[in-house]
Amino acid sequence: MAAEVADKLLEIQAIRLQPTKPFTWASGWKSPIYCDNRLSLSFPPVRNLIRDCLVESIQHYFQNVEAIAGVATAGIPQGALIANELGLPFIYVRSKPKGHGMENMIEGQVVPGQKVVVVEDLVSTGGSSLKAAEDLKKAGFEVLGMVAIFSYGFNIAAENFSNAGIKLVCLSHYDALLPRAVAKKYISPETLDSLAEWRKDPGSWMKE
């Protein structure tokens, strides 16, 4: 599954690799990779593959799920597709309360005690994803875990999810991506050492 999803994300350029011309993230980090899984929504075969893989993961790891919660904004369409496929209620979590009306943080029916699985499209450090899970807990939901399309595989993310006591299941990840990118000639084998170094210490990678 991890290799197949990585292949599709590379094919539609949802994931781009530029080891010699890195991207700059909002944090200021230089990065050889840029991931925008929202592009998958424009490609029905890829969209359906991701939906089916996420549904399969939820059915395998979180069999008692009673509702699906998407993380705004990219987790909303994925979560809605999954909830529809499973015939379950769908809600979504804002990054901050709506500034007018009911000022909701969670949109949809709030059912205290309901068992939810959180849907995210991309996990980097896990900060925003875990905040959404915490907001759901505060509202009374029981968070069974989280599923995501792709993870960079940072150690800090694994630590953050472990400390929060939340199981994370990702369809694909950085370690699965790199050999597929080499095999399909998106990158050269000579760049692998540099790409591995970025994942170890992204904050100082390529700094003079």
Convert the pLDDT of each residue in 114-162 to its tens digit: 999 999 999 998 999 999 999 999 999 999 999 999 999 999 999 999 9
Please check if 120 is assigned to a binding site. Answer: yes
Contact predicate 141/123, CB 8 Å = no
Between the alpha carbon of residue 123 and those of residues 49, 54, 162, 193, the distances in Å are 19, 15, 14, 22
**Residue 127 labeled ligand binder:** yes
Which residues of the chain fall below pLDDT 70? 98-103, 207-208
pTM score of the predicted model: 0.92
Distance (Å) of CA 58 to CA 20, 118, 124, 180, 185 = 37, 10, 21, 25, 33
DSSP state of 101: T
Query: Under 8 Å CB-to-CB from 78, ≥6 apart: which residues?
Result: 37, 50, 51, 54, 70, 119, 121, 149
CA neighbor of 90 nearest in space, from 64, 118, 113? 118
Determine if residue 87 is labeled as part of a ligand binding site.
no
Q: Which of 146, 202, 179 minimizes the C-alpha distance to 28?
A: 202
- The CA distance from 178 to 196, in Å, is 9
pLDDT score at 27: 79
The CA-based diameter of the chain, rounded to the nearest angstrom, is: 55
128 assigned to a ligand binding site: yes
Per-residue model confidence (pLDDT) at position 104: 80
Whether residue 121 is annotated as binding a ligand: the answer is: yes
Q: Supply φ then ψ for residue 94, to 5 degrees.
A: -80, 160
Strands (E), the chain: 15-17, 23-24, 30-31, 33-35, 67-71, 90-93, 106-107, 115-123, 142-151, 168-173
Give the pLDDT of residue 62.
98
Q: Is 98 marked within a binding site?
A: yes
Establish whether 122 is an annotated binding residue: yes
Residue 179 confidence (pLDDT)? 95
Distance CA 85, CA 163 (A): 31
126 in a known ligand binding site: yes
Report the alpha-carbon distance of residue 147 to residue 90 in Å, rounded.
15
